[in-house]
Amino acid sequence: MEKGRLTVLGEEHSAKLLVRRRDFWLYYAAYFCGGTIGLVYSNNLGQISQSLGYSSLTSSLVTLYSSCSFFGRLLSAAPDFLRDKIYFARTGWLAVALVPTPIAFFLLAASGSEAMLRAGTGLIGISSGFVFSAAVSVTSELFGPNSAGVNHNILITNIPIGSLLYGLLAALVYDSNEGSSIIGVSLLKDATLCMGRSCYRQTFIWWGCISIVGLASSLFLFLRTRTAYNRFERNRNRTQVMQPYSQSSSQSSSQSSS
């Protein structure tokens, strides 16, 4: 490690060392502001679709998110399949995967149409699914395979924290727009239903800005770890090139001795 930057992949990090690493906190921020915010969006899909007047679409939207999330998990294997043709650091793929999230949130803030709701849900599902699956490999590569279990559990502490904070933000915006909504439906004595685009527009803008922070964090993480990934790939290629020669030399030496 040079100047606090990872230069070798797979170096073991204890929990104490992990929390001192700047790269870990960039990684944490990328997950917290990227994957977790997509998960919170899925948890609020029912209320979002209801406020936009698409209550009947809730089941199909949840199905769409789940399907796209699964597809995103499958896409997270692309770096391994494309490795021999196009090599790109896995942290770079992570940054690419976070690009759709802010785009989706700003599209949702700009329009409350059914088509935009479906498109935004699909983009967020693909992005968050990729992050959830790729994060396991990234944790192992950056901070060591033997410590991956503990280190990854430290990483995903951002999920309950993010669920609380992002959910609270959405609730505050929702409650503040109950009076200005198009339709105020009284459900109980002290509860009303907010209807209209204003119920979640500000939330989408906030979530979009937060996801940009996650994207920026992932880009910084990629720039800081790119050297380590390139070095690892060069060593891997050198090993593959040298392996046939070492095998042939060992075979020839065994034949000569016999």
Whether 214 contacts 95, CB under 8 Å: no
Q: Is the pLDDT of residue 188 over 50?
A: no
What pLDDT score was predicted for residue 182? Answer: 46
Residue 184 located in a structural domain: yes
- Longest C-alpha distance within the chain, in Å? 95
Range of the domain at 109: 15-250
The whole-angstrom separation of Cα 85 and Cα 175 is 52
The whole-angstrom separation of Cα 81 and Cα 85 is 9
Length of the chain in residues, anyone? 258
Per residue in 29-57, pLDDT (tens digit) is: 999 999 999 999 999 999 999 888 888 88
CATH number at residue 127: 1.20.1250.20
- DSSP 8-state secondary structure symbol assigned to residue 32: I
What pLDDT score was predicted for residue 222? Answer: 94
More confident site: 86 or 249: 86
What pLDDT score was predicted for residue 223? Answer: 93
Q: Is the pLDDT of residue 152 over 90?
A: yes
From residue 112, how far is each of 54, 120, 172, 198 by CA, in Å?
A: 10, 10, 20, 10
Q: Lowest mean pLDDT: which of 43-57, 142-156, 236-250?
A: 236-250
Residue 9 located in a structural domain: no
What pLDDT score was predicted for residue 189? Answer: 46
Mean pLDDT taken over the chain: 85
From residue 85, how far is each of 75, 88, 154 by CA, in Å?
A: 16, 10, 34
Average pLDDT over residues 191-202: 82
Total domains, the chain: 1
Average pLDDT over residues 120-142: 94
Q: Is the pLDDT of residue 212 over 60?
A: yes
Most confident of 138-142, 172-176, 213-217, 244-248: 213-217
Residue 50 located in a structural domain: yes
Residue 6 located in a structural domain: no
Residue 258 located in a structural domain: no
Q: Is the pLDDT of residue 177 over 60?
A: yes
Q: Is the pLDDT of residue 154 over 70?
A: yes
First-to-last alpha carbon distance for the chain, in angstroms, is 47
What pLDDT score was predicted for residue 190? Answer: 52
Locate 133 and state its tokens.
């699956």
Whether 132 contacts 73, CB under 8 Å: yes
Whether 51 contacts 110, CB under 8 Å: no
What pLDDT score was predicted for residue 156? Answer: 94
Residue 93 located in a structural domain: yes
Residue 4 located in a structural domain: no
What pLDDT score was predicted for residue 9? Answer: 85
Per residue in 62-121, pLDDT (tens digit) is: 999 999 999 999 999 887 777 777 778 889 999 999 999 999 999 999 988 899 999 999
What pLDDT score was predicted for residue 1? Answer: 47
